[in-house]
Chains A and B, each alone.
Chain A
Amino acid sequence: MTNEKTVREPLFHISKRDTLPWWKCWLIRIAAVFAALVLSSLLIIVLVKKNPVELYASIFNGNFGSGTKTWLTFQDTAILLCIALAVTPAFKMKFWNIGAEGQVLAGCLASAACVFYIGSSVPNWLLLVIMTVCAILAGAIWAVIPAVFKAIFNTNETLFTLMMNYIATFLIAFFLNKWVKSGSGTLGILEDGHFPVIGDNPSLLTVLIVLFFAAAMFVYLKFSKHGYEIAVVGESVNTAKYAGINVKKVIIRTLILSGALCGITGLLLVGAINHTLTTSLAGGRGFTAIMVSWLAKFNPLYMILTAFIVVFFQKGANQLASDFPTLMTKDFGDIIVGIIFLFIIGCEFFIGYAIKFRKREKKEKTAEVTE
């Protein structure tokens, strides 16, 4: 009898929801963004005593303030999207590849090396072909090394791919030292190996190429046999084995694809955008891309949206720092962006799960028992 007293129904409990209709999902998401904006507005009013609308306008201007800015937003979205597309098949397979940063850098290094060594001695079209092949190879090699170890020795791919990032970074530092005779480690602009510019818009080609990859990746994952195998391996390795899928082969094949796409991102960074090589060309996007991919639930088409959201707020935070230098540092912009992200990511929980509160009558009943 005494035990019964202590058994109390909690204030609320959580239960898994049935799949919600799509419009309800979006209603929850929009409500979350709205709640985030309200909370950040309060913070802005209390902490920096500014009109929140001014700050939101600044975030918007940072992305779409001019034609140049708009295209840069699209270009940055494209690059982030491309890396997110690259990590997606591996993650879907539950292969925790956090080495996209290094794979992109390997692609950068390979393409820059092509320009540096043979740039002036071959025609530009041939150079671009060679760069593409080398970048794809480099990215693929960087990804396949941990994949092989995982497939054969079952090593931890998270640590392995992470370490490969450092190796790629320092390889670039090494080659910069070797190439730049003045010892400053700064390469400057490479004159050869520039991708053609469509019209007079230097970002358009990158955007188109990545959009193509997004569509291709969607088809690959959803409709191809490979895509199905990746999904099965991700759900359960044993099921995959039982179904006669060669798991090792799938792991290695998928990582080659992943790495190759990272390599292409590196190629775009060097050949179409930066025309130089530094250790920070990937700029942490190899990691951000993982979030982009997860947020989109590994759906390449949703990723276009999630990549855009991430880029939008990153650029917005920078613009805030630029527009309000006397009031705040970049940290404040990051706080606002962080709150908005927290709500966007957090609301997915409410889409998947329902919260049920304890009912009134029950409470009264337990009260009676204690009496």
Chain B
Amino acid sequence: MKKLLTLLLTATLAVACCFGFTACGETADIKTVDIPEYDYMYSDVEVPSDYKVGFIFLHDEKSTYDLNFLEAAKEAKLALGLSDSQVIYKFNIEEGQACYDAAKDLVDQGCKAVFADSFGHESFMLKAAKDFPAVNFFHATGTTAHTENVSNFHNAFADIYQGRYLAGIAAGMKLNEMIKNKTKINGTVVTAENALIGYVGAYTYAEVISGYTSFYLGAKSVCPTVKMKVQFTGSWYDEVAEKAAAEALISKGCNLISQHADSMGAPSACEAKGVPNVSYNGSTISKCPNTFIISSRIDWSVYFKAMIASTAGSEEFEIPTDVSVPMQAGAVKLTALNANVMAEGTVEAIYQARNKMFNGELFVFDCANFTVNGEHLTSYKADVDTDPNFEKDTDVIKTATVNGQTITYFAESVFRSAPYFDIQIDGVELLNSKF
């Protein structure tokens, strides 16, 4: 009797599984629209066969942040025709002496260039650079290269705020569409007055502030009445906290969610609640076919390729001490748009804004487009050098003349590559802060 029961149960389970799997297989028709690529020049370089390059990762491919670096490294390897033995990866390298040891080992193995991906690797990369002057050390997201003057130590970032601004336009367009169609989100009709973006951030650092502000300004450029609420999780990767934060924002009346954190927490919360989502680090369309709109990410392969080429002897590229690679050079990418979710006209709007941006007619942090405590910025001092004083000592407001008009703007990633826009602008409300 018992056996029969077990058999029966197993059979039911098996059948249920079959149905379950077929249900999973039947995803809605996913249609995407590519934004036409901006043409940028890139020429091929011959890398000698004895050339070696090393990459130091804080984690391995299980972290989306490190995965983004790893894929860029692989792309650079492929593009420059490097063999397996010419590229050495070091995974799970802590932000301590382990980083110096890894760098030293890479030098021992004959690497001419060493890249590291995490902020905390910086002082150990710098130490290695001082000890091994014949090798070039490249550190992503760091802040000290421009003041240290160590000729073989370099910092880099990408103008990701440009990508976020454009992704923000897609968000603004979507909000406009929802206002026009009187769409209900979480039971409430979206109107011009209650158009509200929710943003899940990792930490209250300049990098995140710069990111959500540029995103907000992009949305505001097409949907002027939009407001934004930001909630921080205090972690770069915490699926539970990110999901909870997104749900909290939705229950506070947010009609659209975006995030700057590395897990699927926020996108999956949006998919469950039917709230449109602008993602980060890559497309989440396969898991969120009904809510994903667009995503931006940094494409490090551009920088890797150029730096590998120059350290391999090419004279085509100079090695900059501290550079934020512009979107124009291909360092910031937008994924394809989700045709089923995006608003009509989004491609054109992004395309136009991008052209203006690349032609130097549009500035993301144009002071005319945002206010701080009701006033437009005319000067702002940021702490861009890492002197021991930590004083805000550099004026980062610049002006440009476009078509006879003077534009005053906050010059992000100009005085150093790592973001330093850390201003709370009007229209954006922080629900908490996490350091």
Assess whether B239 is interfacial by the CB under 8 Å rule.
no
What A residues does B61 contact at CB under 8 A? 329
Set A181, A184, A185, A273: member contacting B97, Cβ < 8 A:
A273
Check A330–B390 contact: CB distance below 8 A. Answer: no
Question: Could you say which of A35-43, A139-147, A277-285 contacts chain B?
Answer: A277-285
- Checking B84, B90, B95, B105 against A69 with a beta-carbon cut-off of 8 angstroms, the contacting residue is B105
Interface pick from A157-165, A209-217, A317-325, A335-343: A317-325
Q: Is the CB of A184 within 8 A of B205?
A: yes
Residues on the B chain within 8 Å of A326, using CB: 84
Q: Which of A177, A182, A189, A280 contacts B124 (CB 8 A)?
A: A189
- A322 and B88 contact, CB distance less than 8 A: yes
Do A186 and B91 touch across chains, with their CB atoms under 8 A apart? no
Instruction: Say yes or no for A276: interface residue by CB 8 A criterion.
Output: yes
A322: B residues at CB distance < 8 A: 88-91
| B105 CB contacts on chain A under 8 angstroms | 65-66, 68-69
A275 at the A/B interface (Cβ < 8 Å)? yes
Q: Bound complex: CA of A267 vs CA of B124, how far in Å?
A: 19
Distance in angstroms between the alpha carbons of A330 and B108 in the assembled complex = 23
User: Are the C-beta atoms of A321 and B205 separated by less than 8 Å?
Assistant: no
The complex places the Cα of A185 from the Cα of B95 at a distance, in Å, of: 12
Interface residues in B, total, Cβ within 8 A: 31
Q: Which of A188, A318, A330 contacts B123 (CB 8 A)?
A: A188
> In the complex the two chains form, what is the Cα distance from A235 to B87 in whole Å?
55
Across the interface, which residues of B come within 8 angstroms of A167, CB to CB? none
Q: How far is the CA of A325 from the CA of B124 in the complex (A)?
A: 24
Find B119's partner among A68, A72, A184 (CB 8 Å cutoff).
A184
Q: Is the interface of A mostly helix, strand, loop or mixed?
A: loop
Q: Chain B nearest CB: distance from A220 CB in Å?
A: 30
A188-B88 CB under 8 A given contacts A68-B104, A330-B60 = no
> Which residues of A are found within 8 Å of B89, using beta-carbon distances?
321-322, 325
Question: Within 8 Å of chain B (Cβ to Cβ): is A244?
Answer: no
Interface residues of B in 281-340 (CB under 8 A from A): none
* Residue of A66, A69, A276, A329 most packed against chain B (CB within 10 A): A276
Interface 1/0 per residue, B82-102 and A, CB below 8 Å? 001000111110111100010
Does B435 sit at the interface, judged by CB under 8 A? Answer: yes
Complex contacts, B96 vs chain A, CB 8 Å: 273-274, 276, 278, 280-281
Within the complex, the shortest CB–CB distance from A62 to chain B, in Å, comes to 10
Once bound together, how far apart are the Cα atoms of A66 and B101, in whole Å? 12
Cβ A177 vs Cβ B435 within 8 A: yes
Interface size class of A (residues with CB under 8 A): 20 to 34
With a CB–CB cut-off of 8 A, which chain A residues contact B62?
329
Partner of A182, one of B84, B101, B386: B386
CA distance A68 to B92 in the complex (A): 18
Q: Chain A residue with minimal CB distance to B70?
A: A325
Q: Does B112 contact A (CB under 8 A)?
A: no
B205 engages A186 (CB within 8 Å): no
- A275's contact among B92, B97, B104, B108, by CB below 8 Å, is which? B97
Contact of A329 among B60, B84, B119 (CB under 8 A): B60
Q: Is the CB of B88 within 8 A of A280?
A: no
Quote the shortest CB–CB distance from A324 to chain B (angstroms).
9
Are A186 and B97 in contact, CB atoms less than 8 angstroms apart? no
Q: Which residue of A lies closest to B207 (CB)?
A: A184
Complex contact B123–A276 (CB within 8 A): yes
In the complex, what residues of A have CB within 8 A of residue B124's CB? 189
Smallest distance from the beta carbon of B414 to chain A beta carbons, Å? 18
Verify if A199 is at the interface (C-beta below 8 Å from B). no
Known: A189-B124, A278-B120, A325-B89. A68 touches B108 (CB 8 A): yes
Measured CA separation A188–B205 after assembly (Å)? 17
Q: How far apart are the CA atoms of A74 and B84 in the complex, in Å?
A: 29
Neighbouring A residues of B383 by C-beta, 8 Å: 182
**Are A66 and B94 in contact, CB atoms less than 8 angstroms apart?**
no
B92 A330 Cβ-Cβ under 8 A: yes
Nearest CB in chain B to that of A317: its residue: B92
Contact B94 A280 (CB under 8 A): yes
Chain B residues within 8 Å of A280, by CB? 94-96
Interface residues of B in 25-78 (CB under 8 A from A): 60-62
Please, what's the 1-or-0 string for A299-323, where 1 marks a CB less than 8 Å from any CB in chain B? 0000000000000000000100110
A321 touches B390 (CB 8 A): no
The B199-224 residues at the A interface (CB cut-off 8 A) are: 204-205
Taking CB atoms, residues of chain A closer than 8 Å to B94 are 278, 280, 283
Task: Report the separation of the CA atoms of residues A280 and B61 in the bound assembly, to the nearest whole angstrom.
Answer: 20
A183 at the interface (CB under 8 A from B): yes
Cα A260 to Cα B390 with chains together (Å):
36
Q: Of B60, B97, B101, B435, which one neighbours A68 at CB under 8 angstroms?
A: B101
A273-B124 Cα distance, complex, nearest whole Å: 12
Is the CB–CB distance between A278 and B95 below 8 Å? yes
Q: Cβ of A278: which chain B residues have Cβ within 8 Å of it? A: 94-96, 120
Contacts of A72 in B (CB 8 A): 101
| A318 in contact with B122 given A177-B435, A329-B61 (CB within 8 Å) | no
Q: Which of A244-295 contact B (CB under 8 A)?
A: 273-276, 278, 280-281, 283
Q: Which chain B residues lie closer than 8 Å to A189 at the CB level? A: 123-124, 127
Query: Hey, which bits of chain A sit against chain B, CB under 8 A?
Result: 65-66, 68-69, 72, 177, 181-186, 188-189, 273-276, 278, 280-281, 283, 318, 321-322, 325-326, 329-330
Show 21 residue pairs from A and B whose CB-CB distance is below 8 angstroms, ordered by the A residue: A68-B101, A68-B105, A68-B108, A182-B386, A182-B390, A184-B119, A184-B205, A186-B119, A188-B122, A189-B127, A273-B96, A274-B96, A318-B90, A321-B92, A322-B89, A322-B90, A329-B60, A329-B61, A330-B60, A330-B91, A330-B92
